[in-house]
């Protein structure tokens, strides 16, 4: 099972909260198939260097994987996943900007498909209840 999240390391609210909750849930969970892989894609390509991604993710869980790419490759990947593109606001103003990015976490179940996404606001208890079900390929049809 793998979890995919597009965020950025300078994010003041959504990314650290999402990753923190996920990390706390992983501390409690014991899944038969082992820990799910977590890939965090740094969409702020100017600041999210591989080194910065690594040290940022180490603050949550050393096993979380950091990925980055060119802006066009990231937008193409987001497009394929039916997710909105990254927005830099305001553009071209040094490092003083915020980044608009999808706030949901995509879960790829053992069949390699994403049947469910988790929006910002998903709580630790929901993760701990849902991940074992997802591992067994059970997901709610209405999400």
Partner 1 sequence: MNWWCSATGRNWSWEWSPYLGAWILFLLLGVSMLLAWRKDRDFPLRRKFSAVIGLIILLIATDWPLATLGAGYLVSVQMARQVLVVFIAIPLLLYGAPPVVGRWLAAGQRRRRAFATITRPLVAVIVANAILIATMSPYFADRLISSQWGSFALDIAWIVAGFIIWFPLQPPTPLTPRLVGPFAMVYLIIQSIIPLPVAFFMTWAEYPLFSVFELAPRVFDSFDAVQDQQLGAAIFQVVGGLIIWAQIAFRFLHWAVERERSDLEEFEPHEETVPA
Of 35, 73, 119, 123, the one binding partner 1 by CB under 8 A: 123
The two counts, helices (H) then strands (E), for the chain are 4, 7
Of 121, 133, 140, 143, the one binding partner 1 by CB under 8 A: 121
Q: Among the candidate windows 31-39, 69-77, 104-112, 119-127, which touches partner 1 by CB under 8 A? A: 119-127
| Cβ closest to partner 1, residue 68 vs residue 103 | 103
Closest separation between CB of residue 79 and partner 1, Å? 28
Buried b (16+ CB within 10 A) or exposed e, 107-133: bbbeeeeebbbbeeebebeebeebbee
Tokens representing 113?
Answer: 């498909």
Classify 138 as helix, strand or coil. coil
12 binds partner 1 (CB under 8 A): yes
Of 33, 35, 55, 59, the one binding partner 1 by CB under 8 A: 59
């Amino acid at each position: 099972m793998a979890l995919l999240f597009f965020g950025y390391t300078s994010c003041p609210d959504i990314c650290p909260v999402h990753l923190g909750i996920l990390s706390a849930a992983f501390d409690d969970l014991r899944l038969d198939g082992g820990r799910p892989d977590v890939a965090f894609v740094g969409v702020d390509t100017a600041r999210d260097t591989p080194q910065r991604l690594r040290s940022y993710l180490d603050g949550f869980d050393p096993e979380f994987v950091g990925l980055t790419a060119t802006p066009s490759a990231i937008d193409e990947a987001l497009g394929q996943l039916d997710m909105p593109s990254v927005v830099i606001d305001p553009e071209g103003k040094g490092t003083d900007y915020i980044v608009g990015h999808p706030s949901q976490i995509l879960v790829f179940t053992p069949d390699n498909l994403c049947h469910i996404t988790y929006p910002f606001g998903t709580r630790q208890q929901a993760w701990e209840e849902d991940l074992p079900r997802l591992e067994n390929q059970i997901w709610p049809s209405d999400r």
